[in-house]
Amino acid sequence: MNYRIGFGYDVHRLVEDRELWLGGIRIAHTVGLLGHSDADVLIHAICDALLGAANMRDIGYHFPDTANETLNMDSKVILKKTVELIGTKGYRVGNVDATVCAEQPKINPHIPAMQQCMAQLMGVDPDAVSIKATTSERMGFVGRQEGMAAYATALIEKM
């Protein structure tokens, strides 16, 4: 069987008057992530990892932030379409491993719901979706609560 790995990273600024979406679920918080789409940094990092593994460029290439079609787009749609894109090259998701870096809100209580949501979208068992959370120890833009970051690796396999 043919296996490939990819790495993804995303960052978005935190602002008032936006909902916070992470891993495909809405999380109650005082601020949300700013972006052309719903700005779900976790899903975006995972999509970049999947696309990178398949050597299919990145999320900005397939879902540009200059296109009207992607304005306020639900990142769950982006993830589903990304899985379909890698499928056109004969690949399916093996597993993903991701880390969200944020000071607030606490992410750990939401991880099971995120795993379930994204596993369903990717057509894998929730056990194949690893999500971890950390802070930046109050350093940098994440530490100042100006934004959030996410890092992801993905394993894809030939069908």
The CATH code of the domain that includes 47 is 3.30.1330.50
Residue 10 counted as an annotated binding residue: yes
pLDDT tens-place string over residues 82-131: 999 999 999 999 999 999 999 999 999 999 999 999 999 999 999 999 99
Peptide bond between residue 109 and the one before it cis (omega within 30 degrees of 0): no
88 annotated to bind ligand: no
pTM of this structure = 0.97
Any binding-site annotation on 27?
no
Q: Say if residue 7 carries a ligand binding annotation.
A: no
Q: For residue 95, give its domain range.
A: 3-158
pLDDT digits (tens, 9 = 90+) for 21-58: 999 999 999 999 999 999 999 999 999 999 999 999 99
What distance in Å separates the CA atoms of residue 118 and residue 123, rounded to the nearest whole number? 8
> What distance in Å separates the CA atoms of residue 31 and residue 155, rounded to the nearest whole number?
32
Question: Domains in the chain: how many in total?
Answer: 1
